[in-house]
């Protein structure tokens, strides 16, 4: 898997799908997706389309980006990451052209195109500004690009605000996977995985619940760092 990053910075290591904490429903849907790409030639013989347009939605920090990267890794495809919040230009006509070029590239290279903050354009038909006409044209451009995406490329869009996205855009996605906050037991498993990497004297941490995996990771690492630094300071005295 190679990685093209447009609009966001990421230092996270790409995890294998089995290392992610996916719900059973999401895992089954992704397994089916991987199978369809694996047996693409067989499906094509019978004119059966691949479900290659997926929408990830739900709480921030629950694994949408990590899952997109893991899917690309599993398929051995290049991933092109586009953060719309950083990408949309003040000159909206240029934005339409640039997004068209990115879709064209994804199709030609049979890549995974991951669009984050998809609601940034998905909700623009409701905007009442001097640019609203141009924004509507941008949404229409994206609809056409989605409709004409090659079958052997994969589009994954992600949003924390699915309820604001235009229904015409939502209809383009064959699969919609929801990423919920983890339950207490799921968080405990994750906390255990995190702290088990460290010596026992650093493993006793305060655990919060009703938070995302990303928040749990930050909380854990902050506490472990404090313990480690405190230990180092005692060595200096």
Q: What is the pLDDT of residues 146-182, one digit of tens each?
A: 999 999 999 999 999 999 898 899 999 999 999 999 9
Looking at the structure, do residues 110 and 160 belong to the same domain, yes or no? Answer: yes
For residues 201 and 231, the answer to whether their CB atoms sit within 8 Å is yes
Q: Residue 91: which pLDDT band, with cuts at 50, 70 and 90?
A: low
- Could you tell me if residue 12 is inside a domain? no
pTM value is 0.86
Q: Are residues 35 and 152 in the same domain?
A: yes
In a domain, 2, yes or no: no
Region 188-199 average pLDDT: 96
- Which residue among 179, 197, 221 closes a domain? 179
Domain total for the chain? 2
Q: Is the pLDDT of residue 143 over 70?
A: yes
Q: What are phi and psi of 128, to 5 degrees?
A: -120, 75
- One domain, residues 141 and 225: no
Are 109 and 168 in the same domain?
yes
Mean pLDDT of the chain: 88
Which tens digit of pLDDT belongs to each residue from 4-29? 565 444 445 788 999 999 999 999 99
CATH code of 157's domain: 3.40.50.300
Q: Residue ranges of the alpha helices (H) in 109-156? A: 119-122, 132-147
What confidence score (pLDDT) does residue 87 get?
78
User: What is the chain's alpha carbon radius of gyration, rounded to the nearest angstrom?
Assistant: 20
The answer as to whether 9 is a domain residue is no
Residue 4 located in a structural domain: no
Tell me: do 164 and 232 sit in the same domain.
no
- How far CA 124 is from CA of 5, 37, 98, 118, 189, in Å, comes to 24, 32, 18, 11, 40
Structural domain including 140 reads 17-179
DSSP E strands in 75-218: the ranges are 79-83, 112-116, 154-159, 175-179
Q: What percent of the chain has pLDDT over 90?
A: 72
Pair 206, 225: CB distance under 8 Å: no
58 and 95 part of one domain: yes
């Amino acid at each position: 898997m190679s990685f093209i990053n447009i609009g966001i910075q990421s230092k996270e290591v790409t995890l294998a799908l089995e290392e992610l904490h996916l719900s059973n429903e999401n895992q089954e849907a992704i397994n089916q997706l991987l199978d369809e790409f694996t047996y693409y030639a067989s499906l094509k013989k019978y004119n059966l389309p691949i479900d290659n347009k997926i929408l990830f939605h739900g709480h921030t920090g629950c694994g949408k980006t990590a899952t997109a990267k893991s899917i690309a890794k599993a398929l051995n495809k290049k991933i092109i990451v586009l953060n719309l919040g950083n990408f949309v230009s003040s000159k909206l006509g240029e934005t339409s052209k640039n997004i068209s070029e990115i879709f064209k590239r994804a199709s030609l290279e049979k890549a995974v195109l991951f669009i984050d903050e998809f609601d940034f354009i998905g909700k623009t038909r409701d905007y009442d500004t001097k640019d609203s006409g141009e924004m509507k044209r941008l949404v229409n451009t994206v609809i056409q690009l989605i409709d004409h995406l090659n079958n052997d490329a994969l589009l994954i869009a992600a949003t924390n605000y699915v309820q604001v996205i235009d229904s015409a855009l939502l209809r383009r996605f064959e699969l919609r996977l929801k990423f919920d906050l983890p339950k207490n037991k799921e968080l405990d498993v994750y906390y255990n995985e995190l702290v088990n990497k460290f010596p026992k004297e650093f493993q006793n941490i305060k655990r919060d619940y009703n938070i995302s995996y990303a928040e749990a990771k930050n909380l854990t690492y902050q506490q472990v760092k404090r313990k480690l630094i405190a230990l180092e300071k005692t060595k200096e005295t």
